[in-house]
Amino acid sequence: MIYFDNSATTQVDDSVLETFMKVSQKMNGNPSSLHQLGDMADGLLQQSRKQVASIMGVQESEIFFTSSGTEGDNWAIKGTAIEKMRYGKHLITTTIEHPAVKESMLQLEQLGFEVTYLPVNAEGVISISDVKAAIRPDTILVSIMAVNNEVGSIQPIEEVGEVLRDYPTIHFHVDAVQAVGKVPLNLSATSRIDLATFSGHKFHGLKGTGFLYIKRGRVIAPLLSGGGQEKGRRSGTENVAGIAAMARALRLLFDQKEQKIAHQKHIRDYLMDELANYSKVHIFSAKQGAPHIVCFALGGIRGEVSVHAFEKEAIFISTTSACSSRSKTSSSTLAAMNVPSKIATGAVRVSLTDTSTLEEAKQFLNSFAKLYENFKDIK
């Protein structure tokens, strides 16, 4: 079996699963309980927070555990909107965001907020001049993903941050779900990023885990009200076992990070170079993009047909993003990149992780050669 759908989710690492099971079995108290079992769970929770903060280069007080990337995005956006609506109701984002951002923005539009959607060029990248032009006196939030989940384009986050230095009251949110451990991301005290979203299951942690970075001094309204966990900002009994397991997964992700990135880049470049030899293949990812994503189409063949043809060979890939793949709508990122819809409907995404191998890429290309032979005469 070849699993090349790591942007949808990753295999849980064995030692991460072991951590989850051990904590579930041996430290199953509620961190809010006053007794010893509660203290133990709380101790582990704070230790995990410390570990995550230290890996990310931020303060412990800036890490808030969530249930997913989707929750982090919703919280950053709607929490900012609720907190800052008395100062302004204008938000800026891009045309290629994950639905967790896009749908949050649409919901806010229905409530009377205004949203500017920044266009992207043919490589799926925004322009800084568009960011500058979009800012208004009533802008309260700029939300831009670091790495696009469909084609892997990298956005100029540092440069956007530089622009926003002149606008200190605007919150700058970065969806870093596909970026962490793959591309540089500076969350240090000098960085202009105020909020950043992460998801545990994208880096060999468990589903249902994630964290939101909230810069010290920045305030967003809570979305989950209740017992006051996470310093009153995100209520709900903490998933201590999942959090401890995620902290371990994050540590593993950053262990020999540069070598892992180079390894994925090497496989990605090999796949791109080989696929480029086929005249009916359109490649939408660029080599300067994220090291783990190749999005391409085989002209005339619908993406789901390719996905199922690969599945027959025990190779698992996606039609662009896992979230939209069941809805049968073509990729909104490719539409924003001005890819004609006839070509975009053929798009598939191969996404790698640090355990992917060159051998797997070769097998993938062998299967692709067969598929191409079968389908090449289809117009």
Ligand X SMILES: Cc1ncc(COP(=O)(O)O)c(C=O)c1O
- Residue 199 near ligand X by CB under 6 A: yes
Least Å distance between CB 123 and ligand X?
Answer: 17
DSSP type of residue 318: B
CA-to-CA separations, 73 to 42, 210, 269, 341, in angstroms, rounded = 26, 11, 31, 28
Figure out which of the listed residues 19, 68, 153, 330 binds ligand X, where binding follows CB under 6 A.
Answer: 68
Distance CA(24)–CA(211), nearest Å, equals: 20
Residue whose token pair is 């230290």 = 54
Beta-strand runs (E) in 156-310: 171-175, 195-199, 210-214, 281-283, 293-298
CA angle (335 as vertex; 332, 340 as ends), nearest 5: 140
Distance CA(222)–CA(64), nearest Å, equals: 11
Find the part of the chain contacting ligand X (CB under 6 A) among 66-74, 79-87, 180-188, 237-245: 66-74
Between 170 and 290, CB nearer to ligand X: 290
Least Å distance between CB 201 and ligand X?
Answer: 6
Between 58 and 290, CB nearer to ligand X: 290
Q: Which residue is nearest to ligand X (CB)?
A: 69
Between 180 and 371, CB nearer to ligand X: 180
Residue whose token pair is 């990149």 = 337
**Residue span 78-107 as binding mask against ligand X, x where in contact by CB under 6 A, dash where not:** --------------------x-x-------
Between 145 and 164, CB nearer to ligand X: 145
- Residue 210 near ligand X by CB under 6 A: yes
- Residue 285 near ligand X by CB under 6 A: no
What type of residue is 105?
M
Figure out which of the listed residues 5, 62, 175, 238 binds ligand X, where binding follows CB under 6 A.
Answer: 175
Figure out which of the listed residues 69, 88, 161, 291 binds ligand X, where binding follows CB under 6 A.
Answer: 69
Nearest to 157 by CA among 165, 168, 141, 145: 145
**Residue span 135-174 as binding mask against ligand X, x where in contact by CB under 6 A, dash where not:** ----------x---x-------------------------
The pair of three-digit structure tokens given for residue 113, joined into one six-digit string: 């907020």
Between 41 and 244, CB nearer to ligand X: 244
Between 177 and 187, CB nearer to ligand X: 177
CA-to-CA separations, 97 to 24, 89, 333, 351, 372, in angstroms, rounded = 35, 20, 8, 18, 31
Element (H, E) at 350: strand 347-351
Figure out which of the listed residues 62, 73, 230, 238 binds ligand X, where binding follows CB under 6 A.
Answer: 73
The pair of three-digit structure tokens given for residue 83, joined into one six-digit string: 């907190």
Residues involved in catalysis: 323
- Residue 178 near ligand X by CB under 6 A: yes
Least Å distance between CB 323 and ligand X?
Answer: 6
- Residue 5 near ligand X by CB under 6 A: no
Least Å distance between CB 224 and ligand X?
Answer: 15
Least Å distance between CB 75 and ligand X?
Answer: 12
CB atoms within 10 A of CB 83: 17
Residues 6+ apart with CB under 8 A from 182: 147, 261, 264, 290, 291, 292
Q: Give contact residues for ligand X (rule: CB under 6 A).
A: 68-70, 73, 98, 100, 145, 149, 175, 177-178, 199, 201, 210
